[in-house]
Structure 1
Amino acid sequence: MPPVLLLVLATLFWAGNFTVGEVAVRSVDPLSLTWLRWTLAAVPLLLVAHVVERPDWRAVARRWPALLALGVLGMSGYPMLLYASLERTSAVSASVINAINPAVMVVLAVLVGMARAGWRTWAGVGVGLLGVLLVLSRGDLGVLLALRLNSGDLIMLVAVVVWSAYTLASQRLGLPALSATALQVLLAALVLTPFALAAGVLLPQDGPTWGAVAYIVVFPSIGAYLCWNHAVPRVSPGAAGTSMNLITVFVMLLAAFLGRPPTPVQVLGAVLVVGGVLLATPRGGGRARHTPRGVAA
């Protein structure tokens, strides 16, 4: 399959995580949904990683402390924050805020000495933040001045920082991407199990919710990572990074298809965020190895 098509499929699957997740959290709490997602996806993802990458599992397993920390941060923390956000805000708003991830990663990389930033970077970050502020305020400056912000949007901002930190940390692993992800998923499921059991796992109570959970397990959790890791070695870093902007586009299209078209403010915010990311993201550089830049894990 052409790598460009694989990138499109991966971003479409991740976009579905926002739209379908918004449905699932109506009856399943974020902790239960995250635990179900990774518990059901862990073994299939390990099998896929074994077939595709044929890794030295002993060598990969020796890095378990780092994989455990990354699993807790990116595979546990980010999804729970995402689903908590979707309990309180729309999938479109969450996806627009999430789209600023690459710009946030650049800022964090500069702060920790992993990158340098010129005028393009800071201009891009500024434009992207303006787009996010539009979404946060729903286009009403009075909302910002009075700090009457939607709690779901604020939670999504925290999720963006968590995912950006996770992505930067994962770049130092030096392990096969799919295999490292699969072990992080397994460890995340194990860590979440006692908390989920203590809190009382809330299982879906109807067919549509089970269908939503099944989609989240099969497509964003397995299919998207498989497509992404097949495509990234065959395309330029710029193409891979730019493709992440399709997530917001797909979320908006899915929302319109479901009868909830994005508002003009959300569309303008998305345009500013995507434009800011394109301006802030450095051209060239090495290929993405471990985790997609700015994706919804």
Structure 2
Amino acid sequence: MKASLYLVLATLFWSGNFVVGQAAVASMTPLDLTFWRWTLAAVPLLVLAHLAEKPDWRAVLRRWPVLLLLSVLGMSGYTLLLYGALGHTSAVNASLITAANPALIVVMAIFLLGEKTTRLGWTGICLGLLGVLLVLSRGEFERVFSLSINTGELLMIGSIVLWGCYTIIARRLEMPAIAATAVQVAMATVTLAPFALAMHVRFPETAVEGWSLAYIAVFPSLGAYLLWNLALKSTAPGTAGNYLNLIVVFTAVITVATGTPLTAVQIVGGVLVVAGVLLTGMKGQARLGVARSVKVA
């Protein structure tokens, strides 16, 4: 029961990142948000990892090349594209495209690693793709073939491809999860620093910007990671992975609660994406190791 509560709260925090991030990019750049998010989260995550996992830091740091690659893909690249996308598309659309991530990872594992899936798994992948195409085209599929797709949605596709690559690599990484994440976050802070200086990254100047960044740094960056990893101590990764479907639901609920109605295309697309992910998961996401390394926001 406690693990289920942790998983629900983690997905709620990640959902909030889509909504808060969309509001924040109205006055802050994606680089502003990405740099300060990881800068503010780095030290608390390192302390949390040390207290919760007591890792052998020397052994962790010996894997710095792969940790650096993961940091560039998952912390810097994914997050920059996510916040860039939220400047051009809705939080709901972004979360719907992200919901296809587990199915995308299964496809990448099939083609890159030679893993297998069943007809049911392929049915789920196709359903999820249909749902994403429905959202991208706003119900007009000719938009896909004419390449008339919103810039934000193209950026979201790029972000989930980066996260798919991140997950394929990270699933073979044998080290404590929070420690690995904390080192990647610290590396993102260091590698983004020159760009932050060159682009004159600024700290939040208004109360709204400050509270937005505070939410992003504390809840999706710290709270969600802690809760997710605590839940995985007593929950199978495949079971936990199914809770990621709640991100679309929570994002939609928060969006409606803040006064933005959902369209029929978003609702139908969301149902198809979630159904596709569930069918794909029946093939055994636990074996693919998807849930353990999936961070969605």
Give the TM-score normalised by structure 2.
0.96
Q: Alignment partner of 1:5: what SS?
A: helix
Map residues 37-56 of structure 1 onto 2, 5 A cutoff. 37-56=37-56
Measured against aligned partners, the alpha-carbon deviations of 1:124-163 in whole angstroms (never above 9, x if no partner) come to: 1111011001100111234334322111011101111110
Q: Which moves more between the two structures, 206-215 or 112-121? A: 112-121
1:10 alignment partner AA = A
Cα separation, partners in 2 of 1:12 and 1:292, compared to 1, 3 Å: farther
Map residues 81-120 of structure 1 onto 2, 5 A cutoff. 81-120=81-120
Q: Is the 8 A contact 1:237 1:287 kept in 2?
A: no
Query: Counterpart in 2 of 1:122?
Result: 122
Query: Counterpart in 2 of 1:133?
Result: 133
2:25 alignment partner AA = V
Query: Counterpart in 2 of 1:29?
Result: 29
Supply the distance in 1 between the matched residues of 2:226 and 2:289 (Cα, whole angstroms).
Answer: 14
Supply the distance in 2 between the matched residues of 1:116 and 1:224 (Cα, whole angstroms).
Answer: 31
How far apart are residue 45 of structure 1 and its match?
A: 0.7
How far apart are residue 196 of structure 1 and its match?
A: 1.0
How far apart are residue 288 of structure 1 and its match?
A: 4.8
2:189 alignment partner AA = A
Query: Counterpart in 1 of 2:13?
Result: 13
Query: Counterpart in 1 of 2:78?
Result: 78
1:235 alignment partner AA = T
1:122 alignment partner AA = W
Q: % of aligned pairs identical?
A: 51
2:4 alignment partner AA = V
Map residues 207-286 of structure 1 onto 2, 5 A cutoff. 207-281=207-281, 282-283=283-284, 285-286=286-287
How far apart are residue 240 of structure 1 and its match?
A: 0.5
RMSD over aligned Cα atoms: 1.6
Aligned length: 296
Cα separation, partners in 2 of 1:24 and 1:247, compared to 1, 3 Å: same
Q: Alignment partner of 1:83: what SS?
A: helix
2:146 alignment partner AA = A
How far apart are residue 289 of structure 1 and its match?
A: 8.7
Q: Which 5+ residue runs of structure 2 have no aligned equivalent?
A: none
Query: Counterpart in 2 of 1:64?
Result: 64
Q: Alignment partner of 1:244: what SS?
A: helix
Q: Is the 8 A contact 1:171 1:290 kept in 2?
A: no
Give the TM-score normalised by structure 1.
0.96
Supply the distance in 1 between the matched residues of 2:270 and 2:290 (Cα, whole angstroms).
Answer: 27
